[in-house]
Amino acid sequence: MGGRSLLGWVGQYRAVLSAGIVGAVIISLTVLAVRRSEPPRVVVQAPATRAVPSPVVPAQLVVHLSGEVIMPGVYHLPVGARIDDALKAAGGATVDGDIQHLNLAARLADGQQIVVPKRINPMLIAISTAASPTPGPLNLNVASVAELDRLPGVGPVTAQRIVAYREQHGPFTAVDQLRQANLVNAATFAKIKELLAV
């Protein structure tokens, strides 16, 4: 009885069931066809970046101390050390060493050379300055082109003209000849006449 009713039901709805099965098959085939027609996915990977090596920072600095230091030589000091540290490592400056001309707080660089200069005695400077004679007037008959060129208002061209005139006409007998021969103008002559002699 139950089997007949099931068969009767299937017979009654055969057309609907057939349409449903056919529809399901069509949908499945359509999905498969759509998937096949999609282009293959291309996965683009970013190029691997090369690791750029960072510059090697030395663990220590190597510096050379010379001049007026107790123990001149090459010293290894930690990074960040200063000139004062390098001087201490070398035993400090000698009695004659002049550290006033060094920036003791400056940081050291690898391969740097530090020269401690010799202190100059101010008395020697005063003596040498006093001993140097004050320059006298320039002799117009023996002065070179370079010496004449250093005079105020006299350039290299005028200096060459003065020497050429001297060679052609003989030695100057008076400083005033510079004006008489029109070798210099009045303004220049006023500046240099007291600085020349014959």
The predicted-structure confidence for 183-197, as pLDDT tens digits, reads as follows: 889 888 888 888 888
**Percent of the chain surpassing pLDDT 90:** 12
The answer to whether the beta carbons of residues 67 and 115 sit under 8 Å apart is yes
Q: What is the pLDDT of residue 88?
A: 93
Residues 170-179 have a mean pLDDT of 86
**11-20, 29-38, 100-109, 147-156, range with the lowest pLDDT:** 29-38
Token reading at 70: 């107790």
User: How many CB atoms are closer than 10 A to CB 143?
Assistant: 20
Predicted structure pTM score: 0.37
Q: Average pLDDT, whole number, for the chain? A: 78
Task: Report DSSP letters for 80-113, one per residue.
Answer: T-BHHHHHHHTT-B-TTB-GGGS-TTSBP-TT-E
